[in-house]
Structure 1
Amino acid sequence: MEAIDKKITAVHIELQEYAQSLRFEQLCEFSMNNLETIPWEKLNFQGLYLIEIKNDLKYNVFKEWSEEFCFRWQDPLYLRRWVSNPKKMRLAKHIELNEWIPLYIGKSKRIKDRLYEHIHLKLEQPTTGLKLKVRENMQNEVFRVSFINIPTQNYDWVMSKFEKILRDRINPIIGRQ
Structure 2
Amino acid sequence: MKKITSDNLECENNIIDFISSFDLKISSFVNEISNKIKEISFDQEQAITFVLTNDLDSKSVFNNPKKQGIYLFELNLESANLTGTKRETKIKNFAEDWSNKKNNPLFSSGVIKKRLELRANFNEQWLPLYVGKNKDVYKRIIEHIDLSSIKSTYAMKLKERTNLHGLEFRVSIIEIDVNNYDFIVPHIERSLRDIYHPLIGKQ
Q: Fold match, TM over 0.5?
A: yes
Show CA shifts across 1:123-148 (max 9, x none). Answer: 11111111111211011100000110
- Rg larger in 1 or in 2? 2
Counterpart of 1:113 in structure 2 is 139
Runs of 4+ that moved beyond 6 A:
none
Among 142, 152, 175, which residue is 2:178 paired with? 152
Q: What is the RMSD computed on CA atoms of the aligned residues?
A: 2.0
| Structure 2: gaps spanning 5 or more residues | 1-16
Counterpart check, 1:101 vs 2:127 = yes
Per the alignment, residue 172 of structure 1 pairs with 198
Match of 1:7 in 2: 25
Q: Specify whether residues 80 and 142 from structure 1 end up closer, same or farther in structure 2 by C-alpha distance, changes over 3 A only.
A: closer
Output the CA distance in 2 between the equivalents of 1:154 and 1:54. Answer: 34
- Report deviation, 1:7: 2.4
Q: Residues 22 and 148 of structure 1 are in contact (CA less than 8 Å); yes or no, is this contact kept in structure 2? A: no
Structure 2 residue identity aligned to 1:159: V
3-state DSSP class of the match of 2:201?
coil
CA distance in 1, matches of 2:61, 2:101: 33
For the residue of structure 1 that corresponds to 2:173, the secondary structure is strand
1:1-177 matched pairs, under 5 angstroms: 1=17, 2-26=20-44, 27-33=47-53, 35=56, 39-42=61-64, 44-56=66-78, 58-62=84-88, 64-79=89-104, 81-94=106-119, 95-177=121-203
The amino acid across from 2:152 in the alignment is: P
Residue 45 of structure 1 aligns with an amino acid whose one-letter code is K
On the 8 A contact 1:84/1:175 being kept in 2, the answer is: yes
Between the aligned partners of 2:103 and 2:138, the Cα distance in structure 1 is 24
| 1:20 positional shift | 2.0
Residues matched between the structures, number: 176
Structure ranking higher in helix proportion: 2
CA deviation string 1:110-135 (max 9, x = no partner): 00110010000011111111111121
Secondary structure at the counterpart of residue 19 of structure 1: helix
Q: Which of structures 1 and 2 has the larger relative contact order (alpha carbons within 8 angstroms, sep 6+)?
A: 1
Q: Read off the aligned partner of 2:140 and give its amino acid letter.
A: R
Contact 2:50 2:168 in 1 (8 A): yes
Contact 1:47 1:150 in 2 (8 A): yes
Opposite residue 90 of structure 1, the aligned amino acid is: R
Aligned with 1:77: secondary structure? helix
